């Protein structure tokens, strides 16, 4: 099966590595060509010079880009995919995208006989490496069945969220909860440090109690207390995700003040910490504001 993979970033490269073997015949494209070349030195893959070249013979195309804006650009921009996609091809967009753009791309492609599913992933770089990502997809079941082996190559828990755009919506809300949990755990621990409680003691109790979350159980012990802050998922991308969730709530007239406040706080964190910071570094903003370190 001929597969094209566009976007070899922190998670994209790990996902693509599972497709660099039989029964797949993989072509990769990345904006920064050196990353695609490095990938092809380590894996069985051809490098394409442009998105158009990458997709011209592909039966399945996967995009894994920062946001739907870049997916649009790779579709419509110079040397973009649009005119090279073959009729009958399925575009699987693994970007954590936004539902309205995914719906509009799906509608445009449908007029050309090309199918689209939004299929964002969760589980981070650890699950991407292991090929055990959770995949939440939106679109038609019959389309999905044609690409199931491709998705199963990197996904373990694979869930149909609904119509096109539903995968994006579910992903944005999941990540909104992640953002809320990171900041709420950081605020709580900053308060406790000020109250004279050591963070190790605080987490021992919280993680045996109802205040626990993935942030308190894993992210803070492994990345904050150690001051390691490895970059696995950029803060800028989480800010984008919670922004999508806030707009989704607004568009649906849903009352979601915690999501909209956390979106504002992540915007502040992105301004403070920059484009390269990891998402967990948002804790540093709370630390600075409170004049404490959680360690």
Candidate residues 234, 265, 270, 284; the one interacting with ligand NDP per rule CB under 6 A: 234
Q: Which of 234, 244, 109, 232 is nearest to 168 (CA)?
A: 244
Of 124 and 188, the one with the shorter C-beta distance to ligand NDP is: 124
Query: Which residues does 168 contact at the CB level (< 8 Å), separation at least 6?
Result: 68, 96, 97, 98, 99, 102, 118, 120, 138, 244
Binds ligand NDP (CB under 6 A): choice among 7, 99, 139, 155: 7
CA–CA separation, 217 vs 208, rounded Å? 9
* Token pair for 59: 């039966």
Site for ligand NDP in 236-255 (CB under 6 A): 237, 241
Distance from C-alpha of 93 to C-alpha of 118, rounded to nearest angstrom: 5
Q: How far is CA 179 from CA 134, 168, 202, in A?
A: 18, 16, 20
Q: Of 76, 295, 60, whose CA–CA distance to 200 is shortest?
A: 295
> Does position 74 bind ligand NDP by CB under 6 A?
yes
Position 50 contacts ligand NDP (CB under 6 A): no
Should residue 99 be labelled a site residue for ligand NDP when binding is judged by CB under 6 A?
no
295 is catalytic: no
Set 56, 171, 240, 284: catalytic member = 171
- Binds ligand NDP by CB under 6 A, chosen from 17, 84, 96, 216: 96
Nearer to ligand NDP, 232 or 290 (CB): 232
Q: How many Å apart are CA 16 and CA 285, to the nearest integer?
A: 34
How many CA atoms lie less than 13 Å away from 79 in the CB half-sphere? Answer: 9
Please report, as residue ranges, which positions from 159 to 218 form the binding site for ligand NDP (by CB under 6 A). none
Candidate list 16, 64, 117, 277; residue touching ligand NDP; CB under 6 A: 64
* Interface contacts to ligand NDP, rule CB under 6 A: 7-12, 30-32, 35, 64-66, 70, 73-74, 95-96, 121-122, 124-125, 232-234, 237, 241
The residues annotated with a catalytic role in the active site are 171
């Amino acid at each position: 099966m001929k597969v094209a993979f566009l976007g070899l970033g922190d998670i994209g490269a790990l996902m693509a590595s599972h497709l660099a073997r039989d029964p797949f015949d993989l072509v990769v494209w990345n904006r920064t060509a050196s990353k695609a070349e490095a990938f092809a030195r380590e894996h069985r893959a051809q490098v394409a010079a442009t998105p158009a070249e990458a997709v011209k013979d592909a039966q399945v195309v996967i995009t894994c880009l920062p946001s739907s804006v870049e997916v649009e650009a790779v579709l419509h921009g110079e040397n973009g995919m649009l005119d090279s996609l073959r009729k009958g091809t399925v575009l699987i967009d693994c970007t954590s995208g936004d539902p309205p753009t995914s719906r509009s791309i799906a509608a445009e492609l449908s007029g050309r006989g090309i199918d689209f599913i939004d299929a964002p992933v969760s589980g981070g770089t650890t699950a991407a490496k292991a090929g055990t990502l959770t995949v939440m997809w939106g679109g038609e079941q019959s389309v999905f069945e044609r690409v199931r082996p491709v998705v199963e190559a990197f996904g373990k828990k694979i869930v149909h969220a609904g119509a096109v755009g539903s995968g994006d919506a579910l992903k944005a809300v999941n990540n909104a909860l992640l953002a809320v949990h990171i900041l709420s755990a950081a605020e709580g621990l900053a308060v406790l440090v000020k109250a004279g409680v050591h963070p190790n003691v605080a987490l021992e109790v919280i993680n045996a109690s109802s205040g626990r979350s993935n942030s308190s159980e894993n992210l803070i012990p492994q990345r904050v207390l150690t001051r390691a802050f490895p970059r696995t998922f950029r803060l800028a991308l989480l800010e984008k995700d919670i922004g999508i969730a806030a707009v989704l709530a607004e568009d649906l007239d849903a009352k979601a003040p915690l999501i909209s406040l956390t979106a504002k706080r992540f915007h502040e964190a992105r301004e403070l910490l920059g484009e390269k910071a990891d998402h967990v570094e948002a804790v540093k903003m709370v630390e600075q504001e409170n004049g404490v370190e959680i360690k």
